[in-house]
Amino acid sequence: MTAVSIDSADFGYDGTPESRWGRWCHIQAVSGMADYTMSFGTTQALFSCCRDLYISHSSFNDCRNNGQPDGCGFDFERAVHNFTLDSCIFANNRGQGVLVMQTAMENQVTGETVTTPNTGNTIQNCLFYNNMTDVHNENYRFDITVFNTDNSDFTVRNNHFYFREKTAGGAEVFINYQNRKTQNPIGPERAGFTAEDNTLVQSNSLPPLEEIITQLNMTDSTTAYLPLEKTWYHYTDEGATLPETEPETESETAPTESPTEPTATESDTAPTRNGCDSAVGPTLALTALTGAAVITRKGRRRE
Protein backbone atom coordinates (compact mmCIF):
# COMPACT_ATOMS: atom_id res chain seq x y z
CA MET A 1 0.00 0.00 0.00
CA THR A 2 1.21 3.47 -0.91
CA ALA A 3 -0.38 6.87 -0.30
CA VAL A 4 1.73 8.65 -2.94
CA SER A 5 3.26 6.52 -5.71
CA ILE A 6 4.75 8.08 -8.82
CA ASP A 7 6.80 6.45 -11.57
CA SER A 8 8.64 8.20 -14.43
CA ALA A 9 8.27 11.93 -13.86
CA ASP A 10 10.39 15.04 -14.33
CA PHE A 11 8.90 17.59 -11.95
CA GLY A 12 10.98 20.49 -13.24
CA TYR A 13 12.46 21.95 -10.06
CA ASP A 14 15.36 24.19 -11.11
CA GLY A 15 17.05 24.37 -7.72
CA THR A 16 15.93 27.89 -6.81
CA PRO A 17 13.25 29.24 -4.42
CA GLU A 18 11.62 30.93 -7.43
CA SER A 19 11.17 27.69 -9.37
CA ARG A 20 7.64 27.58 -10.80
CA TRP A 21 7.62 23.80 -10.98
CA GLY A 22 8.56 20.90 -8.78
CA ARG A 23 7.92 22.42 -5.35
CA TRP A 24 5.52 20.51 -3.07
CA CYS A 25 4.66 21.18 0.53
CA HIS A 26 2.13 20.29 3.24
CA ILE A 27 1.60 16.70 2.16
CA GLN A 28 0.09 14.88 5.12
CA ALA A 29 0.37 11.08 5.02
CA VAL A 30 -0.29 10.36 8.66
CA SER A 31 -2.15 7.07 9.01
CA GLY A 32 -1.76 3.48 7.89
CA MET A 33 -4.28 0.64 7.50
CA ALA A 34 -4.50 -1.71 10.45
CA ASP A 35 -5.95 -4.69 8.56
CA TYR A 36 -4.28 -4.64 5.12
CA THR A 37 -0.73 -4.95 3.78
CA MET A 38 1.37 -5.95 0.77
CA SER A 39 3.80 -8.86 0.59
CA PHE A 40 6.35 -6.72 -1.26
CA GLY A 41 6.21 -3.83 1.20
CA THR A 42 4.36 -0.71 2.25
CA THR A 43 5.29 2.97 2.30
CA GLN A 44 3.58 6.33 2.62
CA ALA A 45 5.36 7.75 -0.45
CA LEU A 46 7.20 6.01 -3.28
CA PHE A 47 9.10 7.58 -6.17
CA SER A 48 10.63 5.61 -9.04
CA CYS A 49 12.49 6.93 -12.09
CA CYS A 50 11.83 10.54 -11.11
CA ARG A 51 13.86 13.71 -10.94
CA ASP A 52 13.93 17.36 -9.87
CA LEU A 53 11.47 17.69 -6.98
CA TYR A 54 11.61 19.72 -3.75
CA ILE A 55 9.32 18.52 -0.94
CA SER A 56 9.08 20.57 2.24
CA HIS A 57 7.00 20.93 5.41
CA SER A 58 5.29 17.56 5.02
CA SER A 59 4.66 14.51 7.22
CA PHE A 60 5.04 10.83 6.32
CA ASN A 61 3.97 9.07 9.49
CA ASP A 62 2.44 5.91 10.93
CA CYS A 63 2.99 3.59 7.98
CA ARG A 64 2.05 0.03 8.90
CA ASN A 65 3.36 -3.21 7.49
CA ASN A 66 1.43 -5.86 9.43
CA GLY A 67 4.27 -8.34 9.38
CA GLN A 68 5.45 -7.58 5.83
CA PRO A 69 8.52 -5.61 4.62
CA ASP A 70 9.15 -1.90 4.88
CA GLY A 71 6.42 0.09 6.63
CA CYS A 72 8.46 3.21 5.86
CA GLY A 73 7.62 6.88 5.52
CA PHE A 74 9.35 7.61 2.20
CA ASP A 75 10.84 5.37 -0.48
CA PHE A 76 13.54 6.28 -3.02
CA GLU A 77 12.67 3.17 -4.98
CA ARG A 78 15.04 3.47 -7.94
CA ALA A 79 16.63 6.03 -10.26
CA VAL A 80 15.60 9.09 -8.23
CA HIS A 81 17.69 12.16 -9.04
CA ASN A 82 17.93 15.68 -7.62
CA PHE A 83 15.25 15.32 -4.93
CA THR A 84 15.27 17.36 -1.72
CA LEU A 85 13.31 16.53 1.43
CA ASP A 86 13.37 19.64 3.61
CA SER A 87 11.75 20.17 7.02
CA CYS A 88 9.69 16.97 6.83
CA ILE A 89 8.61 14.63 9.63
CA PHE A 90 8.94 10.83 9.60
CA ALA A 91 7.36 9.56 12.80
CA ASN A 92 5.94 6.39 14.32
CA ASN A 93 6.42 4.29 11.21
CA ARG A 94 6.44 0.55 11.83
CA GLY A 95 9.55 0.32 9.66
CA GLN A 96 12.24 2.87 8.81
CA GLY A 97 11.76 6.55 8.17
CA VAL A 98 13.27 6.52 4.66
CA LEU A 99 14.16 3.63 2.34
CA VAL A 100 16.77 3.89 -0.43
CA MET A 101 17.20 1.06 -2.93
CA GLN A 102 17.36 0.28 -6.64
CA THR A 103 14.90 -2.29 -7.84
CA ALA A 104 16.37 -3.77 -11.04
CA MET A 105 14.74 -2.76 -14.34
CA GLU A 106 14.66 -4.30 -17.78
CA ASN A 107 15.72 -2.25 -20.77
CA GLN A 108 12.65 -2.50 -23.00
CA VAL A 109 14.79 -2.27 -26.15
CA THR A 110 17.69 -4.61 -25.38
CA GLY A 111 16.08 -6.80 -22.74
CA GLU A 112 19.08 -6.29 -20.45
CA THR A 113 18.70 -5.82 -16.72
CA VAL A 114 20.03 -2.41 -15.78
CA THR A 115 21.00 -0.87 -12.44
CA THR A 116 19.06 2.13 -11.21
CA PRO A 117 21.03 4.00 -8.53
CA ASN A 118 19.88 7.28 -6.99
CA THR A 119 21.96 10.44 -7.42
CA GLY A 120 22.08 14.04 -6.24
CA ASN A 121 19.50 13.80 -3.44
CA THR A 122 19.33 15.68 -0.13
CA ILE A 123 17.53 15.08 3.17
CA GLN A 124 17.82 18.14 5.40
CA ASN A 125 16.23 19.79 8.45
CA CYS A 126 13.94 16.78 8.96
CA LEU A 127 12.71 15.02 12.10
CA PHE A 128 12.85 11.24 12.48
CA TYR A 129 10.92 10.08 15.53
CA ASN A 130 10.19 6.69 17.09
CA ASN A 131 10.35 4.59 13.94
CA MET A 132 10.96 0.82 13.61
CA THR A 133 8.34 -0.28 16.14
CA ASP A 134 7.37 -3.44 14.21
CA VAL A 135 10.12 -4.32 11.75
CA HIS A 136 9.98 -7.19 9.26
CA ASN A 137 13.47 -8.48 10.12
CA GLU A 138 16.89 -7.38 11.40
CA ASN A 139 17.73 -5.57 8.13
CA TYR A 140 15.38 -2.75 9.11
CA ARG A 141 17.38 -1.05 11.85
CA PHE A 142 18.35 2.35 10.42
CA ASP A 143 16.15 5.42 10.12
CA ILE A 144 17.55 5.82 6.61
CA THR A 145 17.77 2.24 5.38
CA VAL A 146 19.94 1.80 2.29
CA PHE A 147 20.04 -1.53 0.44
CA ASN A 148 22.17 -0.66 -2.62
CA THR A 149 25.83 0.31 -2.95
CA ASP A 150 26.07 2.53 -6.01
CA ASN A 151 24.22 5.69 -5.02
CA SER A 152 26.14 8.95 -5.37
CA ASP A 153 26.05 12.53 -4.08
CA PHE A 154 23.40 11.77 -1.42
CA THR A 155 23.54 14.30 1.44
CA VAL A 156 21.95 13.91 4.87
CA ARG A 157 22.40 17.08 6.93
CA ASN A 158 21.02 18.98 9.90
CA ASN A 159 18.39 16.36 10.72
CA HIS A 160 17.13 15.28 14.14
CA PHE A 161 16.86 11.58 14.97
CA TYR A 162 14.92 10.49 18.07
CA PHE A 163 14.90 6.73 18.54
CA ARG A 164 14.64 3.93 21.07
CA GLU A 165 17.47 1.56 21.90
CA LYS A 166 16.18 -1.41 19.90
CA THR A 167 13.72 -2.33 17.19
CA ALA A 168 10.59 -4.34 17.93
CA GLY A 169 8.48 -6.81 15.98
CA GLY A 170 10.24 -9.31 13.73
CA ALA A 171 13.66 -8.55 15.25
CA GLU A 172 15.13 -6.89 18.31
CA VAL A 173 18.39 -5.20 17.31
CA PHE A 174 20.08 -1.89 18.10
CA ILE A 175 18.75 1.09 16.15
CA ASN A 176 21.06 3.42 14.20
CA TYR A 177 24.32 1.74 15.17
CA GLN A 178 27.07 1.32 12.60
CA ASN A 179 28.94 -0.87 15.08
CA ARG A 180 28.88 -1.41 18.82
CA LYS A 181 30.30 2.05 19.54
CA THR A 182 29.36 4.26 16.61
CA GLN A 183 25.87 5.62 16.00
CA ASN A 184 24.87 6.26 12.40
CA PRO A 185 21.31 6.74 11.10
CA ILE A 186 22.33 5.54 7.61
CA GLY A 187 22.86 1.89 6.75
CA PRO A 188 23.55 -0.92 6.30
CA GLU A 189 25.03 0.44 3.03
CA ARG A 190 26.56 3.93 3.05
CA ALA A 191 28.46 4.29 -0.22
CA GLY A 192 27.72 7.63 -1.87
CA PHE A 193 26.27 9.18 1.30
CA THR A 194 27.55 12.20 3.22
CA ALA A 195 26.24 12.93 6.73
CA GLU A 196 26.66 16.42 8.20
CA ASP A 197 25.55 18.07 11.47
CA ASN A 198 22.84 15.57 12.39
CA THR A 199 21.57 15.20 15.96
CA LEU A 200 20.92 11.73 17.39
CA VAL A 201 18.96 11.22 20.60
CA GLN A 202 18.49 7.67 21.93
CA SER A 203 16.01 7.01 24.73
CA ASN A 204 13.46 4.39 25.66
CA SER A 205 11.40 7.21 27.17
CA LEU A 206 11.17 9.68 24.31
CA PRO A 207 9.41 13.02 24.86
CA PRO A 208 6.00 13.35 23.16
CA LEU A 209 6.21 14.00 19.42
CA GLU A 210 4.24 17.24 19.73
CA GLU A 211 6.72 18.55 22.29
CA ILE A 212 9.69 17.90 20.00
CA ILE A 213 7.91 19.43 17.00
CA THR A 214 7.32 22.59 19.02
CA GLN A 215 10.92 22.71 20.27
CA LEU A 216 12.24 22.39 16.73
CA ASN A 217 9.74 24.96 15.41
CA MET A 218 8.31 22.43 12.95
CA THR A 219 4.59 22.96 13.44
CA ASP A 220 4.48 24.13 9.80
CA SER A 221 5.18 20.54 8.80
CA THR A 222 1.98 19.23 10.41
CA THR A 223 -0.55 21.30 8.47
CA ALA A 224 -2.16 20.71 5.07
CA TYR A 225 -3.50 22.90 2.31
CA LEU A 226 -7.25 23.32 2.28
CA PRO A 227 -9.10 22.09 -0.84
CA LEU A 228 -10.65 25.51 -1.37
CA GLU A 229 -7.23 27.02 -2.14
CA LYS A 230 -7.01 24.92 -5.29
CA THR A 231 -10.05 26.62 -6.83
CA TRP A 232 -8.57 30.11 -6.67
CA TYR A 233 -6.25 29.60 -9.61
CA HIS A 234 -6.30 28.75 -13.29
CA TYR A 235 -3.51 26.46 -14.49
CA THR A 236 -2.16 26.76 -18.03
CA ASP A 237 1.12 26.08 -19.81
CA GLU A 238 2.18 29.59 -18.80
CA GLY A 239 1.69 28.85 -15.09
CA ALA A 240 -0.86 29.57 -12.37
CA THR A 241 -2.99 32.74 -12.50
CA LEU A 242 -5.97 34.12 -10.64
CA PRO A 243 -9.20 34.12 -12.67
CA GLU A 244 -10.48 37.54 -13.74
CA THR A 245 -14.03 36.55 -12.86
CA GLU A 246 -15.58 33.80 -10.84
CA PRO A 247 -16.34 30.62 -12.81
CA GLU A 248 -19.97 30.24 -13.76
CA THR A 249 -20.37 26.55 -13.03
CA GLU A 250 -21.28 25.52 -9.54
CA SER A 251 -18.44 22.99 -9.32
CA GLU A 252 -15.84 25.67 -10.04
CA THR A 253 -17.27 28.51 -7.98
CA ALA A 254 -14.56 30.42 -6.14
CA PRO A 255 -14.87 30.51 -2.35
CA THR A 256 -16.72 33.43 -0.84
CA GLU A 257 -15.10 35.78 1.59
CA SER A 258 -15.27 34.78 5.22
CA PRO A 259 -13.80 36.15 8.46
CA THR A 260 -11.34 33.24 8.67
CA GLU A 261 -10.18 32.86 5.05
CA PRO A 262 -8.75 35.74 2.98
CA THR A 263 -10.31 36.45 -0.41
CA ALA A 264 -7.69 36.44 -3.19
CA THR A 265 -7.58 39.24 -5.76
CA GLU A 266 -5.67 39.60 -9.00
CA SER A 267 -3.00 41.68 -7.30
CA ASP A 268 -2.48 39.20 -4.51
CA THR A 269 0.22 36.61 -4.43
CA ALA A 270 -0.80 33.29 -2.92
CA PRO A 271 -1.20 33.38 0.86
CA THR A 272 1.96 32.35 2.64
CA ARG A 273 1.01 29.10 4.34
CA ASN A 274 3.17 27.57 7.02
CA GLY A 275 6.65 28.01 5.68
CA CYS A 276 6.02 27.76 1.91
CA ASP A 277 7.37 30.47 -0.34
CA SER A 278 4.47 32.70 -1.36
CA ALA A 279 6.01 33.21 -4.79
CA VAL A 280 5.25 29.63 -5.67
CA GLY A 281 2.11 29.21 -3.58
CA PRO A 282 -0.31 28.55 -6.48
CA THR A 283 1.77 25.68 -7.82
CA LEU A 284 2.24 24.23 -4.38
CA ALA A 285 -1.45 24.26 -3.61
CA LEU A 286 -2.31 22.20 -6.66
CA THR A 287 0.55 19.74 -6.60
CA ALA A 288 0.25 18.99 -2.92
CA LEU A 289 -3.34 17.95 -3.44
CA THR A 290 -3.01 16.07 -6.69
CA GLY A 291 0.17 14.34 -5.64
CA ALA A 292 -1.37 12.98 -2.47
CA ALA A 293 -4.31 11.63 -4.44
CA VAL A 294 -2.25 9.29 -6.61
CA ILE A 295 -2.61 5.70 -5.44
CA THR A 296 -1.00 2.83 -7.29
CA ARG A 297 0.37 -0.58 -6.52
CA LYS A 298 4.09 -1.12 -6.34
CA GLY A 299 5.47 -4.42 -7.56
CA ARG A 300 8.93 -5.27 -6.39
CA ARG A 301 11.05 -7.84 -4.66
CA ARG A 302 11.61 -7.98 -0.95
CA GLU A 303 13.76 -10.18 1.21
262 has a pLDDT exceeding 70: no
User: Where exactly are the structural domains of the chain?
Assistant: 2-225+282-292
Q: Comparing C-alpha atoms, which of 2, 31, 137, 34 is closest to residue 92?
A: 31
pLDDT value, residue 107: 65
Helix (H, G, I), strand (E, B) or coil at 288: helix
Residue by residue, DSSP assigns 12-42 as ---SSTT-SSSEEE--EE----SS---TT-E
Question: Which of the two residues, 106 and 231, has the higher pLDDT score?
Answer: 106
- Angle CA(97)–CA(277)–CA(238) in degrees, nearest 5? 110
259 has a pLDDT exceeding 50: no
**For the chain, what is the mean pLDDT?**
76
Mean pLDDT of 100-114: 74
Half-sphere exposure (CA, 13 Å, Cβ side) for 244? 0
| Burial tier of 107 (Cβ tally within 10 Å: 0-12, 13-18, 19+) | exposed
113 has a pLDDT exceeding 70: yes
- 172-198 pLDDT, tens digit per residue, is 999 999 988 899 999 999 999 999 999
pLDDT value, residue 109: 67
| pLDDT bucket at 253, cuts 50 / 70 / 90 | very low
Residue by residue, DSSP assigns 135-190 as BSSTT--SSEEE--S--BSEEEES-EEEE-SB--BS---BSSBSSSS-B-SEEE--
Where is average pLDDT lowest: 4-18, 113-127, 159-173, 238-252? 238-252
| pLDDT bucket at 104, cuts 50 / 70 / 90 | confident
pLDDT value, residue 88: 97
pLDDT value, residue 33: 58
117 has a pLDDT exceeding 80: yes
Task: Say what percent of the chain tops pLDDT 70.
Answer: 66
Task: Say what percent of the chain tops pLDDT 90.
Answer: 44
- 130-150 pLDDT, tens digit per residue, is 999 988 789 889 999 998 889
Q: How far apart are CA 234 and CA 254, in angstroms?
A: 11
Handedness of CA 166, 167, 173, 176 (dihedral sign): negative
Residue by residue, DSSP assigns 221-269 as GG----HHHHTT-EEETTEEE--SS--SSGGGPPPPP-SSSPPP-TTPP
- 43-100 pLDDT, tens digit per residue, is 788 898 899 999 999 999 988 776 666 688 999 988 999 999 999 999 999 889 999 9
pLDDT value, residue 238: 62
Q: How far apart are CA 136 and CA 95, in angstroms?
A: 8
Helix (H, G, I), strand (E, B) or coil at 11: coil
| pLDDT bucket at 13, cuts 50 / 70 / 90 | very high
CA-CA distances (angstroms) from residue 282 to 31, 56, 197, 272? 27, 15, 33, 10
| pLDDT bucket at 34, cuts 50 / 70 / 90 | low
Q: How far apart are CA 193 and CA 189, in angstroms?
A: 9
278 has a pLDDT exceeding 90: no
| pLDDT bucket at 265, cuts 50 / 70 / 90 | very low
CA-CA distances (angstroms) from residue 149 to 101, 115, 116, 146, 187? 9, 11, 11, 8, 10
Q: How far apart are CA 300 and CA 2, in angstroms?
A: 13
252 has a pLDDT exceeding 50: no
Contact yes or no for 205/248 (Cβ under 8 A): no
